[in-house]
Chain A
Amino acid sequence: MAPQHVHSFLVHPSKHDADPPQIAGTGIPRRGSLYNMLSTVFARAESECNIEIVFRCRPNGEQQNDCRDELVAYLENPNVDTGHPLASRLQRITTHRSGLGLLFLMASRDNGIHRAVISRFPADQGVIAEEHAHRLSVEFVERVFMKSAKAYKSALYSSPSLTRGFWDGRAVDLQISGPRELSDYWIREFLVSDLKTTGPAGTKRLAVALRDAIRRAGDADVREELISAASLMRRQDGTSFSVRQLAQRLGLSPEAVGAIETALPRRDLMDQVFQFDTEEFQKHVQYRAVELDNGGTLIAEDAHFNNVFREQVVNQGDRRIRFTTEGRVIDQALRKTR
């Protein structure tokens, strides 16, 4: 799958600039090394762009989004002029920290499906060495792009409908180092979009899956690992990640990861990115219950379990543990079940 139209714009950082520089744009011919490289980016977007996003509606609730309108206008008639508003939008929100960038707009239409990929490559520095007949010239350049062809931001959109489609897409930011930084610049500011899954919805899904995985875990080691993971997850408030990324970060065993994956409504939800919400998590994973082989069960609010019950290893070999606690009895009851 190759783009039928490619346009490029040099975007200077101009956030808060009263007099931003002119944006130069050009069409990229459908041949040569640059086109081939961009075709790879275009094709790879399908697997690479893994963060599901939706355009934000207007503050008054109207189903309208300026960035989407500009994207659709470009797709209706792809050229430098129709692509210019998107480049302008990127320039208006680009700070000096983000720096100079080269924006590529790529479009195709195949079997009635419009497809668009928007990519931004950051500027870098480099040295050009040119050999002449009897000498070598060396020059320092500050506008090297794609020095690392893997460090870029991209967004992919596709739909048969230019009028009512193109409300959702997928994005990726290959420049960032960690999920906490999940690009506000690229997704929220430039694309005027939000993650498709809200923080509470993604967190609720994870919490319920974790709770179910703990209940179903046949292996005591896996259950213990999942319970420990639940405690650690509480510290992730505000961080954006997928369940798989979180599991990797917590170093969960393949068995524990598998238990969570099985407990999710769909396995592909392991890779959907959301922003963790500790308050929501607490609503669903509130109590920790420890069952002993002597018939005893200890239950306490998970966040305070280790303060309520003091744990002492009696015998490491057969994993015997003594729990001690102290308090006033405020209620006791006989129950048919736990």
Chain B
Amino acid sequence: MNADIAEYRRRYDAHLQTVAAGLERYIKECLCNVPHVDRVTARAKDPDRFAVKAQCPDERGRQRYLHPLAEVQDQIGARITVFYLNDVAQISQVTERYFRPIEQRELVPESEWEFGYFGRHFVLALPRDVVPEAVPLEEVPTFFELQIKTLFQHAWSEANHDLGYKAPRALSRDENRRLAYAAAQAWGADRLFEELRAEILP
């Protein structure tokens, strides 16, 4: 386990940041004529976060990852932020045109009475085009994670990551309710903008 974490740190410094930058460029090229794309970003997972994830237990308290380097699928993560809800579907189609998925999920809260994280996630084969020739292929993950979100979904999840997920203490019921309220407002804003887009830019 520790050997995997140390090896990840070495790979991160040696190659992964370069590969992530290459992936970002590659995705931008694939989307070059697609409208309403606000931003494309890609990053290699921070080594400290990799270490935490590599050691996290599963639901039964056992070690979730026995071979983290081969098993953690978001060592490289990319995000496409778009203007409107309809763009998420459009970009998903473009994604499937240029990348091979082994997973795709629409992330929504479990209950229709809940508001929280929304977004579309893919696990995709990493194109070899983004790996510089000098980098050994066996030191680069086979897959990467891609998120496609609207600006409002992204804004809420970033703030929630900071204030909710990484909160230094347990949140009160009222604080949780306010985070959910903010998610509901982001959800509502997305709906309104999508309706306006359909009316104004059919």
Residues of A that sit less than 8 Å from B by CB:
54-57, 61-63, 112, 159-161, 163-165, 167-168, 194-198, 200-201, 204-205, 265-269, 272
Contact = CB atoms under 8 A, between A and B. Distances in A.
Given A168-B125, A195-B100, 12 more contacts: A54-B100, A61-B101, A61-B104, A62-B105, A161-B66, A163-B66, A164-B73, A198-B98, A201-B98, A204-B98, A205-B129, A266-B128
Contacts of A269: 128-129
Nearest to B94: A200
B103 A200 contact: no
A266 B131 contact: yes
Interface string B97-114: 111111111100000000
Interface of B: 30, 65-67, 70-71, 73, 96-106, 123, 125, 127-133, 142-143
Contacts of A268: 128
A161 B30 CA distance: 32
Contacts of B103: 57, 61-63
B99 A54 contact: no
Contacts of B106: 61
Contacts of A63: 102-103, 123
State the main secondary structure of chain B at its contact with A.
mixed
Nearest to A56: B102
B101 A196 contact: no
17 contacts: A54-B100, A61-B105, A62-B103, A161-B66, A165-B67, A195-B100, A197-B100, A198-B96, A198-B100, A200-B97, A201-B99, A204-B30, A265-B130, A265-B133, A266-B128, A266-B132, A267-B133
Contacts of A198: 96-100
B143 A160 contact: no
B127 A201 contact: yes
A122 B141 CA distance: 36
A205 B142 CA distance: 19
A269 B66 CA distance: 32
In order of increasing CB-CB distance, the 4 nearest A-B pairs are A63-B103, A61-B104, A164-B71, A161-B67
A93 to B, nearest CB: 21
> Which of B103, B128, B130, B131 has most A Cβ within 10 Å?
B128
Nearest to B65: A164
Contacts of A57: 101-104
Nearest to A61: B104
Nearest to A267: B133
B169 to A, nearest CB: 33
A168 B126 CA distance: 11
Contact of B67 (A56, A61, A160): A160
A62 B123 CA distance: 10
B127 A197 contact: yes
Contacts of A168: 125, 142
Nearest to A194: B100
Contacts of A194: 100
A159 B70 contact: yes
A205 B71 CA distance: 28
B143 A167 contact: yes
